[in-house]
Structure 1
Amino acid sequence: MRKLYFLVPGTGGKFACGGLWAELKAFKLAQQVCSAEVVTYRQRETGKLFLDDLLQKPNLDDVIFVISWGFDIAKLAKKLQPYNVVYHAHSAGYKFSLPASIPIITVSRNTMGYWGQKAPNSLVYYLPNEISYDFKNLHLERDIDVLVQARKSSEYLLNQLIPALKQKCRVQVVNSYVEDLPGLFNRVKVYLYDSAEYWAQQNVSEGFGLQPMEAMACGCQVFSSINGGLSDYLDPGFNCYKIAGYSQEYDVQRVMKVIDSTISPNLSEDFFAEYRPENIIQRLRVIIAELNEFFDHKKHHSSNIPSLTRGRLLNLFIQRVNKKFRKKYFQGL
């Protein structure tokens, strides 16, 4: 088993976000399968390896670099071209391509489909993000009718729907880091999440969407957008409600109906099993074993499957047009 180096720009401060926490969780789980370590590459940190120092070592064939920070991937892939590299893909839509020598591990089936089309000659795997056992329904009294986290929320949600709901029920808007998120979710009846507008502005996709699933695990009713990775597990009418449904008035009507009723999510633990640590560790064992086998092969063989470059796509288009033209011509004789 090669050692895994999880590359992150930094482990806190200006780099703190859901994507970083998800990557560090994946690192912790990987440590239960093989040797793994965090490496920073933008800022030096006490007790952490720094990429430029690490690359001074003479033999790095026995390691695999795991890259994940979307905006840095193109530069990192080029810098690490001589080494064994895996892309841990969260969001999709970044304007870069990857060679077939870099396998791709995706956190959602939505992202897997994206890379399955964009990188048809690459190895592609699915490894969902972790939902820890801290997120569970404690069956407590719920004293918050509606909760929304301001970050990533749409203007419609913050400027129209929330003010309208505040006139009818108890609403809490979170603008900062929450120390005990499972505890907060267990006080909430309805959780609102609307990230489609945010990700459209970023020109990339919602990679997974941890908060709606974490809220569901804690027994909240969820009203959410269904963009990107959210479409992996959200099923409007069955385990959630689609937010921004036609009109503000209709959204208010539906939210209040849920609050005023005794409706509670009827999701068994089986629903969350795919995202719990045991399943992820089991999948990691398979994926890491295959990655080691692939990098053993790559040492002695070059990629020889034609790539879907613009030039090749143009050539295929011309061939198809010529074939249709010849077929039509000979039929007319």
Structure 2
Amino acid sequence: MRKLYFLVPGTDGKFACGGLWAELKTVNLAQQICSADVVTYRQRETDKIFLDDLLKAKNLDDVIFVISWGFDIAQLAAKLQKYNVVYHAHSAGYRFRLPASIPIITVSRNTMGYWGQKAPNSLIYYLPNQISDEFQNLHLERDIDVLVQARKSSEYLMQALIPELQKKCRVFVVNSYVEDLPGLFNRAKIYLYDSAEYWAQQGVSEGFGLQPMEALACGCQVFSSVNGGLSDYLDPGFNCHKIAGYSKEFDTQRILKLLESPVKGTLPEQFFAEYRYENIIKRFQVILAELNEFFDHKIQQQSNIPELTKIRVAKLFTQSIYSKVRKKYFRG
């Protein structure tokens, strides 16, 4: 099995974010199956391999480069075109295309559907992000009525709904890094998450949305947007509530009503099983085995299925119109 090199711009400072932590967690999972390392390509770090140094090696046929940083993908794919490359896709909506020679591993079914349309000739797999076992309901006394994290939250949430809720219940707003997030979720009764506005500004989708899932696992009631990857697992009315529902007054009414209701139990563990270590490591093993088989095949065979380019789509559309007109003419 080929060695995996996971490419990230850097692992600290300005590159520290949820997407980086998710990618590093994937590296740890990969290391349970095969040899895998982190490689940086923008920032040199003393304990990490730097991409330009690695590419000086003469033979890299026995490695796979895993690229994931959305805004850098087009440049990296071009730079690594003669090597074995896999795209680990989190968000969708970036304006680039990928050749069929680059398989795609998606973190959500929402993103898988996007690439299924954009890259119909590529191998595409689904490997959801992992929810760590530390995220579970500890059945503690909950002293926070409503919890919200400022980052990625909508203007409506922070400037309209939260001020209204603060008049009527105990609201805790997080605006910095939290060391013990499972502990914080276990203190909260309701968690609010509204990222649709944030991702609309970025021009790409919510890749997975770990925090609503983690909050649910800790026994929180969740009010959330259902954009992008959140639609994979959130089901308003059944396992969560839709935030920003028509009016501030209606949101406030629903949240306060829920706070007055008996505390609901945690969702059954089988709901989270798809996102726990045991399932993900099994899926990863299957995916890596198929990727290695594919890269063996790619050495001997060039791609020969026509790409679904804009020009080809236009040609197919023209042919379809011509065929319909021709049939109508001969029937007449």
> How far 1:264 sits from its partner (Å)?
1.3
Is 2:274 the counterpart of 1:280? no
Secondary structure, counterpart of 1:324 in structure 2: helix
Code of the residue aligned with 2:45 in structure 1: it is E
Matches of 1:278 and 1:21, distance apart in 2: 19
Between 257-266 and 240-249, the greater mean CA deviation after superposition: 257-266
The amino acid across from 1:249 in the alignment is E
Matched, 1:309 2:305: no
The aligned counterpart of 2:291 is 291
Deviations 1:166-196 (A, max 9, x none): 0100001100000000000000000000000
Alignment partners' CA distance in 1, 2:77 and 2:250: 47
Report the CA distance between 1:263 and its aligned residue: 3.3
Counterparts of 1:22 and 1:47, CA distance in 2: 20
User: 1:206 aligns to what?
Assistant: 206
1:66 partner SS:
strand
- Distance in 2 of aligned mates of 1:276 and 1:266: 16
TM-score when normalising by structure 1? 0.99
Q: Aligned residue for 1:40?
A: 40
**C-alpha distance in structure 2 between counterparts of 1:264 and 1:197, whole Å:** 29
CA contact (8 A) 2:137 2:266 kept: no
Q: Identify if the C-alpha distance between structure 1 residues 178 and 249 changes in structure 2 by more than 3 Å, giving closer, same or farther.
A: same
Q: How far is the alpha carbon of 1:265 from its aligned partner?
A: 4.0
Q: Is the 8 A contact 1:77 1:85 kept in 2?
A: yes
Moved over 4 A (4+): none
Q: Secondary structure at the match of 1:286?
A: helix
- Find the counterpart in structure 2 of residue 241 from structure 1: 241
CA distance in 2, matches of 1:303, 1:265: 52
Displacement of 1:12 after TM fit? 1.1
Q: Distance in 2 between matches of 1:265 and 1:249?
A: 27
Given the alignment of the two structures, is residue 81 of structure 1 paired with residue 81 of structure 2, yes or no? yes
* Native 8 Å contact 1:9 1:43 kept in 2: yes
Superposed CA offset, 1:250-307 (max 9, x none): 0001000111111314411111011011111100100000000000000000000000
In structure 1, stretches of 5+ residues that fail to align are: none
Q: Share of identical aligned residues, percent?
A: 79
Deviation at 1:47, TM superposition (A): 1.1
For residue 225 of structure 2, what is the aligned residue in structure 1?
Answer: 225
* SS of structure 2 residue aligned to 1:39: strand
Once residues 117 and 213 of structure 1 are traced to their aligned partners in structure 2, the CA distance between those partners, rounded to angstroms, is 27
Tell me, yes or no, if the aligned pair for 1:220 and 1:265 is still in contact at 8 Å.
Answer: no
- Partner of 2:105, secondary structure, is strand
Deviations 1:219-262 (A, max 9, x none): 00000000000000000000000000111000001000111111
Does 191-200 or 257-266 show the bigger shift?
257-266
* Residue 267 of structure 2: aligned partner: 267
What is the match of residue 70 of structure 1? Answer: 70
Q: Which amino acid aligns with 1:15?
A: F
Query: Once the two structures are superposed, what CA deviation does each residue of 1:30-49 show, in whole Å capped at 9, x if it has no partner?
Result: 00010000000000001100
What corresponds to 1:183 in structure 2? 183
For residues 99-153 of structure 1, the C-alpha deviation after alignment (integer angstroms, 9 at most, x for no partner) is 0000000000000000000000000000000100010000000000000000000
Q: Give the length in aligned residue pairs.
A: 332
Residue in 2 that maps onto 1:161: 161
**Is the Cα contact below 8 Å between 2:100 and 2:121 reproduced in 1?**
yes
Paired residues of 2:4 and 2:35 also in contact (CA < 8 A) = yes
1:189-224 Cα distance to aligned partner (Å, 9 max, x none): 000000000001111000000000000000000000
8 Å Cα contact 2:74/2:96 also seen in 1: yes
| Alignment correspondent of 1:6 | 6
Following the alignment from structure 1 to structure 2, what is the Cα–Cα distance between the partners of residues 43 and 265? 45
Q: Quote the Cα distance in structure 1 between the aligned partners of 2:76 and 2:36.
A: 19
Supply the distance in 2 between the matched residues of 1:47 and 1:160 (Cα, whole angstroms). Answer: 46
1:57 aligns with 2:57: yes
Deviates more, 1:260-269 or 1:290-299: 260-269
Q: What residue ranges of structure 2 are gaps of 5+ in the alignment? A: none
| Matched-pair contact (CA < 8 Å) for 1:6–1:67 | yes
Given residue 92 of structure 1, which amino acid in structure 2 is its aligned partner? A
Does the 8 Å CA contact 1:216/1:265 hold for their aligned counterparts? no
1:274 aligns to what SS in structure 2?
helix
